[in-house]
Amino acid sequence: MDTRYLFKRHNTWWVKVAVPRTLRNQLGYDLRQSLKTHNLEEAQDLRWSFIDTLKEKIELTRQSPLQDYETENRNTQVETFMPVTDTNNPQYYHKVVDCQYACPSHTPVPEYIRQISQGNYTEAYMINWESNVFPGILGRTCDRPCEPACRRTRTHEKPVAICRLKRVTYDYKDDITHLLPEVPQEKTGKRLALIGAGPASLTVARDLLVLGHECILFEKDPQGGGLMRTNIPAFRLPVEVLDDEVDQIINMGIETRFNSEITSMESLLEEDFDAIFVGTGAPKGKDLSIEGRQEAENNIHIGIDWLTSIAFEHTDSIGKKVLVLGGGNTAMDCCRSSLRLGAEDVKVVVRSPFDQMKA
Considering the chain, what is the average pLDDT of its residues? 86
Domains of the chain: residue spans and CATH: 1-85 (no CATH), 96-180 (1.10.1060.10), 185-278 (3.50.50.60), 297-356 (no CATH)
Contact by Cβ (8 Å): 112, 147: no
To the nearest 10°, the Cα dihedral for 341, 346, 348, 354? 100
SS3 of the chain: helix, strand, coil, percent, to 5:
45, 15, 40
Q: What is the pLDDT of residue 66?
A: 52
Which tens digit of pLDDT belongs to each residue from 275-324? 999 999 888 888 888 888 888 888 889 888 889 888 888 888 898 999 99
Share of the chain above pLDDT 70, in %: 91
Q: Greater confidence, 209 or 154? A: 209
What single letter denotes the amino acid at residue 91? Q
Predicted confidence band at 96 (pLDDT cuts at 50, 70, 90)? low
Q: What is the pLDDT of residue 34?
A: 84
The residues that bridge with 193 in the sheet, in sequence order, are 216, 276
pTM over 0.75: no
Q: What is the pLDDT of residue 314?
A: 85
What CA–CA distance (Å, rounded) separates 248 from 263?
A: 28
Q: What is the pLDDT of residue 79?
A: 42
What CA–CA distance (Å, rounded) separates 3 from 193?
A: 40
Which tens digit of pLDDT belongs to each residue from 109-133? 988 999 999 899 999 999 999 999 9
Contact by Cβ (8 Å): 102, 159: no
- pLDDT above 50: residue 82: no
| Residue 61, H or E segment | helix 40-62
Q: What is the pLDDT of residue 76?
A: 44
What CA–CA distance (Å, rounded) separates 175 from 172?
A: 10
Write out 136-174 in H/E/C secondary structure: HHHHHHCCCCCHHHCHHHHCCCCCCCHHHHHHHHHHHCC
3-state secondary structure at position 58? helix
Tell which residue, 276, 302, 101, has the closest CA to residue 200: 276
Tell which residue, 335, 136, 326, 329, has the closest CA to residue 232: 329
The residues that bridge with 18 in the sheet, in sequence order, are 30
- pLDDT above 90: residue 106: no
Tell which residue, 143, 128, 49, has the closest CA to residue 359: 143
